[in-house]
Structure 1
Amino acid sequence: MPGNELQELVARGMKAANSGRTAAALECFERVVKLQSTPVNWSYLAFCVARERQQFEHATRLCEEAVRREPRSSVLYLNLGKVYLLSGRKDDAIRTFRQGLLYERNTLIESELRRLGLRKPPVLNFLAREHPVNKYLGIMLKKLKIR
């Protein structure tokens, strides 16, 4: 398969996976990983396998291996977090999403975190979230765009 066709298949698979059509994405990535074995391709395949076939342990291992091979790609953390969510491991998913954002901005991760309704940890974690110092420090840091 020529390079352009392969890139087109990868793009089509990513678009399908990100829009919720994981059955179509699964077909694409099963073909893609045979031709081009990259952490991103394996990560998308793993997410699709978890969603379509409910093979959570297998998908988790694939995603974790992809992250080990390319630890600075936020897309890999996105897919690993989604696999964690599908398998009922919400705390792991949140931690993984946040870790992915440390490497690069990813609007899909941000939307997942918003969908989950998460708040950032308190500025001073030894004080309660509702403590006035935490509240006003958080507001001030957000206005300064530091946090």
Structure 2
Amino acid sequence: MEKKTIKIISSLGTDFNSEVDIRGEKYFIQTEEGAGKKPRITTRIYMKGRIIYSKETDYRDIMDAPERDKRVRECMQKQHKLAIGILTAEQAANERTVMDYLEEVKALLGKNKEENALGVLNEALRNHTGNPFLLSYYGCLEAVVNRNYKEGIQACTQAIETLKQKVPFGEEFFYPVLYLNLGKTYLAAGRKKQAISAFQKGLDMDSENSELRKILRKLGVRRRPAIPFFKRSHVLNKYLGMLSHKFTKQ
């Protein structure tokens, strides 16, 4: 379903009626003319039968104007469209961004509240369907919290493929965290070999990523030699390894 759809139900007779669907929530907008001693145009927005917005405009100043009916309908249409604009603008302003959700998820994970973080991600993906970063964290936590390993691995893998299509550059900035989540998902599933492979792919893109290096050390995996086609004991690999260790400690 689209995030926002507007359906004009009626613009005939004496009123305008529209139905607006924003992220699955339906709103009904009605604009009608009220004659009598106080001629006015009234617009109301309803949500689940409750009025959440109302505006009245007095149009006595055009009561005796030429083409009075046409002028009134033009005013009604303008006020009706304005109400729709206000509704959609307010909803857009209230919508949380991907970064808002990710910051909350990371804060919850820092407090070891994985279940709460998963709940936030479920909401986030309803509002930002298919976002690769949200999907990656979701897959990881789905495996860790619910032990749904198959879905978790699929989600993490899909996140990487989606990002490759959307952002085919800047690997060192975007991909390490996705491979980190994929590796954690494999670990939760007891697939250590695939986990190490995922962690190393992330480290290949960002060799100084502290979280990836830390988790590989815990798994007993040594860093790859600086020059892969030489043995680890080769003098160049030893020298470059010492230099790397020296600078990373600073």
Output the TM-score relative to the length of structure 2.
0.50
Residue by residue, what CA displacement relative to the aligned partner does 1:43-101 show, whole Å, maximum 9, x if unpaired? Answer: 10111110111000110011111111224311110100000000011111111111012
Distance 2:152 2:163 in 1: 17
Please say which structure displays the higher CA radius of gyration. 2
Change over 3 Å in CA distance of 1:21–1:115 after alignment to 2:
farther
- Determine if contact 2:230/2:237 at 8 Å carries over to the other structure: no
Report the alpha carbon displacement of residue 138 of structure 1 after superposing the two structures with TM: 3.2
Change over 3 Å in CA distance of 1:144–1:88 after alignment to 2:
same
Residue 101 (structure 1) aligned with residue 203 (structure 2): yes
The match for 2:154 is 61
Report the alpha carbon displacement of residue 5 of structure 1 after superposing the two structures with TM: 6.5
Percent sequence identity is 27
The match for 1:112 is 215
- Determine if contact 1:50/1:59 at 8 Å carries over to the other structure: yes
Q: How many residues align?
A: 141
Distance 2:118 2:228 in 1: 44
Residue 41 (structure 1) aligned with residue 143 (structure 2): no
Secondary structure of the residue aligned to 1:145 is helix
Distance 1:112 1:124 in 2: 21
Residue by residue, what CA displacement relative to the aligned partner does 1:25-57 show, whole Å, maximum 9, x if unpaired? Answer: 101101111111310100101111101110001
Whichever residue aligns with residue 139 of structure 1, its letter is K
Output the TM-score relative to the length of structure 1.
0.81
Structure with the higher fraction of residues in strand conformation? 2
Change over 3 Å in CA distance of 1:142–1:126 after alignment to 2:
closer
Distance 2:113 2:187 in 1: 17
Structure with larger RCO (C-alpha < 8 A, sep 6+): 1
- Determine if contact 2:98/2:134 at 8 Å carries over to the other structure: no
Report the alpha carbon displacement of residue 121 of structure 1 after superposing the two structures with TM: 4.1
Structure with the higher fraction of residues in helix conformation? 1
Secondary structure of the residue aligned to 2:244 is coil
What RMSD, in angstroms, separates the aligned Cα atoms of the two structures? 2.5
Secondary structure of the residue aligned to 1:85 is helix
Report the alpha carbon displacement of residue 6 of structure 1 after superposing the two structures with TM: 5.6
Gapped regions of structure 2 (runs ≥ 5) = 1-90, 165-170, 246-250
- Determine if contact 1:14/1:44 at 8 Å carries over to the other structure: no
Distance 2:177 2:193 in 1: 18
Gapped regions of structure 1 (runs ≥ 5) = none
Report the alpha carbon displacement of residue 18 of structure 1 after superposing the two structures with TM: 5.2
One of 100, 106, 113 as aligned partner of 1:21? 113
One of 172, 182, 186 as aligned partner of 1:84? 186
One of 87, 96, 104 as aligned partner of 1:12? 104
Distance 1:19 1:95 in 2: 28
